[in-house]
Amino acid sequence: MTVKVSSHVRSGLTVVALEGEINSTTSGGLQAELLPLIAEGAAVLIDLTGISYISSAGLRTLLIVHRHAQQLAAEITLVGLSEEVSFVMSATGFLDFFRVAEDLDAELERATR
């Protein structure tokens, strides 16, 4: 199993869509793909709509992404968390590290105001 990563710039924001499961098998490759997409001062939306499962290894990857973004004064927003992913991130305190939005289009609209 892999995590499919696609990215594009929309309304001045980097949008990264993920699809699959983030676990110990996929988290290293995902980290390697995500970190270069975070530029200094950038706003990055990570769309997790296609993520059905996240393990502790996946949480660690998101924490590394968060810390990398902090070093670059970039803002990370997680979008489209499933109930399961939201529960895991909430129960472990990881939601506190990120701005969270429900809907990608609404978030893009908010960001361009």
**Residue 66 half-sphere exposure, CB side, CA atoms within 13 Å?**
15
pLDDT at 1: 63
- Predicted structure pTM score: 0.92
pLDDT at 30: 95
Report the pLDDT value the prediction gives residue 106, as an integer from 0 to 100: 83
Per-10-residue mean pLDDT of the chain, 113 residues long, equals 89 92 95 95 95 94 96 96 94 92 84 73
Provide the pLDDT for residue 109: 81
Backbone torsion region of residue 58, taken as left when φ is above 0, otherwise alpha when ψ lies between -120 and 50, otherwise beta: alpha
Q: What is the pLDDT of residue 28?
A: 93
Beta-strand pair 75-79/43-54: parallel
